[in-house]
């Protein structure tokens, strides 16, 4: 440990460091460390629980969902109601649900959480329901929060007498704003660790090195050390207030990010193509075109010889119409170093769909003409 801890405990000298920070780290391409790196340990924690939603207007789980019936029987027994093991209640206004919540770092007992309630049976809707007292557990199996309250459901489901139904959004999922109360703190051993670790959101050797250099330049000595392209270890004060001030000063420090690898991301489910700014192509010729086959199916009724002729039977005949059309191929020649805007303009001019665009980019990547990473999700 270095003697940098002593200046941190003196307010006047700390102000000098802050002024030094504001006047010496300004850069057009620089970004605050808070935007490019997270503090190890400052993470969300997930909680989950199993509960019952009651008060539904006949849209709850059906009788074949046995675990809902068992849950109701077990709950009623806890209130002193005598029921035998063969009891099989017919329920329509109750639904078994999973309850999930996220705990932000350093939240304390007594603070409230927003919970998401999702049906796990065959309930048609949770609209108008109330979640009964539900314990929420962490990955270690311990109870950290208690949830209860009325659900807010954004969707609805309506069914007519003839079976016609209308559904909007998802009526089997709801939320309870501030519906859970945190009962205990989630301990973080990182708060007393003699070092803190900065985790880069986009790992880069150059960025990690720039962060360690900037911190060492600000505090002097070898306070920070880049461990790899994703982590930078920083020696920190042990006193809690000094530690908070130290971290806040680091997060405000601006550094220049390293060179990012350009990417092309294609979502195969939605057909969305996203191209980063620095994507270029080497010299290449691309021909875009293809054959479209359209098949139309129709039905016609074949009658016997006469309208009142009893000989023969009326039959439904399937008719098929097949059309084949060829799209005129278009050839595009892209010189070396063609940028994003030129690529998009050229593809838009030939009227290519996102699927065709993706095929073009895949072909360019196969021949090694795409200067960037192709990612398909």
Give pLDDT tens digits for 150-206. Answer: 999 886 666 555 555 666 668 899 999 999 999 988 766 566 778 888 999 888 899
Dump the DSSP string for 196-251.
EEEEESS--HHHHHHHHHHHHHHH-SS-EEE-SSSEEEEE--SSHHHHHHHHHHHH
- State the pLDDT at residue 147: 96
Residue 91: which of 81, 76, 78 has the closest Cα?
Answer: 76
Q: How far apart are CA 59 and CA 226, in angstroms?
A: 57
- State the pLDDT at residue 143: 94
Looking at per-residue pLDDT, the higher value among 341 and 132 belongs to 132
pLDDT surpassing 50 at residue 319: yes
- Could you tell me if 135 and 146 are in contact, meaning their C-beta atoms sit under 8 angstroms apart? yes
Residue 54: which of 112, 155, 123, 143 has the closest Cα?
Answer: 123
Residues 179-197: b if buried by 16+ CB within 10 A, e if exposed: bbebeeebeeebeeeeebb
- State the pLDDT at residue 11: 34
- State the pLDDT at residue 154: 81
- Could you tell me if 271 and 354 are in contact, meaning their C-beta atoms sit under 8 angstroms apart? yes
List the domains of the chain with CATH numbers.
5-41+189-256 (3.90.1150), 45-152+167-182 (no CATH), 263-376 (no CATH)
Q: How far apart are CA 351 and CA 353, in angstroms?
A: 7
pTM for the model stands at 0.61
Mean model confidence pLDDT for the chain: 77
- State the pLDDT at residue 133: 94
35: left (phi over 0), alpha (psi -120 to 50) or beta: alpha
Q: What is the pLDDT of residues 99-124, one digit of tens each?
A: 999 998 888 889 999 999 999 988 88
Phi, then psi, of 98 in degrees rounded to 5 = -100, 140
CA angle 45, 51, 54 (to 5 degrees): 135
**97 pLDDT band (50/70/90 cuts)?**
very high
């Amino acid at each position: 440990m270095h003697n940098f801890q002593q200046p941190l405990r003196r307010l006047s000298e700390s102000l000098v460091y802050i002024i030094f920070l504001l006047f010496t780290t300004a850069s057009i391409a620089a970004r605050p460390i808070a935007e490019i790196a997270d503090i190890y340990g400052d993470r969300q924690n997930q909680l989950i629980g199993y509960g019952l939603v009651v008060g539904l207007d006949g849209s709850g789980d059906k009788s074949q969902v046995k675990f809902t019936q068992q849950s109701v029987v077990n709950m009623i027994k806890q209130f002193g109601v005598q029921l035998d093991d063969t009891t099989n209640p017919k329920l329509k206004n109750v639904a078994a649900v999973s309850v999930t919540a996220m705990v932000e770092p350093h939240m304390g007992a007594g603070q409230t959480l927003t919970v998401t309630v999702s049906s796990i049976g065959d309930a048609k809707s949770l609209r108008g329901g109330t979640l009964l007292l539900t314990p929420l557990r962490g990955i270690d199996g311990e109870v950290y929060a208690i949830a209860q309250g009325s659900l807010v459901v954004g969707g609805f489901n309506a069914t007519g007498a003839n079976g016609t139904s209308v559904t909007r959004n998802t009526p089997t999922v709801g939320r309870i704003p501030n519906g859970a109360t945190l009962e205990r703190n989630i301990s973080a051993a990182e708060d007393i660790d003699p070092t803190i670790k900065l985790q880069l959101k986009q790992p880069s050797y150059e960025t990690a090195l720039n962060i360690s250099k900037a911190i060492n330049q600000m505090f002097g000595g070898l306070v920070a050390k880049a461990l790899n392209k994703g982590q930078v270890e920083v020696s920190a004060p042990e006193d809690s207030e000094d530690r908070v001030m130290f971290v806040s000063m680091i997060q405000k420090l601006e550094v220049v990010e390293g060179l990012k690898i350009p990417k092309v991301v294609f979502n195969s489910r939605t057909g969305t193509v996203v191209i980063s700014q620095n994507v270029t192509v080497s010299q290449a010729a691309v021909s875009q075109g293809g054959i479209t086959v359209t098949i139309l199916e129709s039905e016609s009724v074949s009658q016997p010889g006469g309208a009142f002729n009893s000989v023969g039977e009326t039959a439904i005949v399937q008719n098929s119409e097949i059309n084949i059309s060829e799209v005129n191929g278009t050839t595009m020649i892209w010189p070396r170093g063609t940028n994003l805007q030129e690529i998009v303009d050229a593809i838009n001019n030939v009227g290519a769909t996102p699927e065709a665009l993706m095929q073009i980019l895949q072909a360019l990547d196969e021949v090694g003409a795409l200067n960037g990473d192709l990612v398909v999700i």
